[in-house]
């Protein structure tokens, strides 16, 4: 059976930390920013960890 290919769309969106956790960007920062508060937009800049429930599935996409 051939090797599984990396899902390139996922590889561009997620990074793996040294401890094996997966980092992602937050959603809702691209448009309709007028109604969002400064605080909310500032917090959306930060990265966050993928939840434990999704970690296994995303790990299989990026093959790290």
Let me know: does 25 contact 46? Beta carbons within 8 Å: no
Q: What is the pLDDT of residue 64?
A: 58
Token code pair at residue 34: 């007028």
Q: In terms of Cα–Cα distance, which of 26, 16, 2, 19 is closest to 60?
A: 16
Full pLDDT tens readout for the chain, 64 residues:
888 899 999 999 999 999 999 999 999 999 999 999 999 999 999 999 999 999 999 999 998 5
User: pTM for the full model?
Assistant: 0.81
Spatial separation of the C-alpha atoms in residues 6 and 1, rounded to whole Å: 15
Q: In terms of Cα–Cα distance, which of 10, 13, 23, 18 is closest to 50?
A: 23
Q: In terms of Cα–Cα distance, which of 45, 11, 48 is closest to 28?
A: 45
Domain extents for the chain? 8-62
Q: What is the pLDDT of residue 63?
A: 80
Q: Which CATH number fits domain 8-62: 3.40.50.150, 3.30.460.10, 4.10.410.60, 3.40.640.10?
A: 4.10.410.60
């Amino acid at each position: 059976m051939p090797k599984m290919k990396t899902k390139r769309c996922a590889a561009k969106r997620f990074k793996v930390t040294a401890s094996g956790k997966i980092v992602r960007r937050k959603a809702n920062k691209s448009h309709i920013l007028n109604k969002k508060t400064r605080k909310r937009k500032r917090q959306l800049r930060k990265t966050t960890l993928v939840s434990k429930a999704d970690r296994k599935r995303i790990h299989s996409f990026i093959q790290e």
